[in-house]
Amino acid sequence: DTGVSQDPRHKITKRGQNVTFRCDPISEHNRLYWYRQTLGQGPEFLTYFQNEAQLEKSRLLSDRFSAERPKGSFSTLEIQRTEQGDSAMYLCASNPGAGEKLFFGSGTQLSVL
């Protein structure tokens, strides 16, 4: 598969639990982005990587959120002590360079009960 893949597609968890999502970008893309999308809103930028370096993290992002891209390939997004307000679609995207079009994954739908 040459597209961006995300795992899992759906995650249901109880408030206070930790969750981790994985994203595999298109292999030749050195940039990887995480977005969050809630109903009726566009994708909201969370963070992005160039290779293994995390270059920017949204100021709106709680300290409970952390992302890694250890070898410059796949990335993980972890949310600690989940809250009901974290319920959203978490989207991953990649592109080959600055300002280029984004290729999106199908997303991980998180529901916090």
Which positions touch other proteins (CB under 8 A)?
33, 35, 40-45, 48, 50, 55-56, 91, 93, 98-99, 101-107
Among residues 92 and 112, whose Cβ is nearest to other proteins? 92
Among residues 63 and 98, whose Cβ is nearest to other proteins? 98
Among residues 80 and 89, whose Cβ is nearest to other proteins? 89
Rounded to the nearest whole angstrom, what is the least distance from the CB of residue 104 to other proteins in the complex?
4
Whole-number Å distance between alpha carbons of 75 and 49: 9
Rounded to the nearest whole angstrom, what is the least distance from the CB of residue 3 to other proteins in the complex?
8
Radius of gyration of the chain (CA): 13
Question: Of all helices (H) and strands (E), which one includes residue 113?
Answer: none
Q: Is 97 exposed, middle or buried (0-12, 13-18, 19+ CB in 10 A)?
A: exposed
Rounded to the nearest whole angstrom, what is the least distance from the CB of residue 85 to other proteins in the complex?
18
Phi, psi of 107 (to 5 degrees): 95, 160
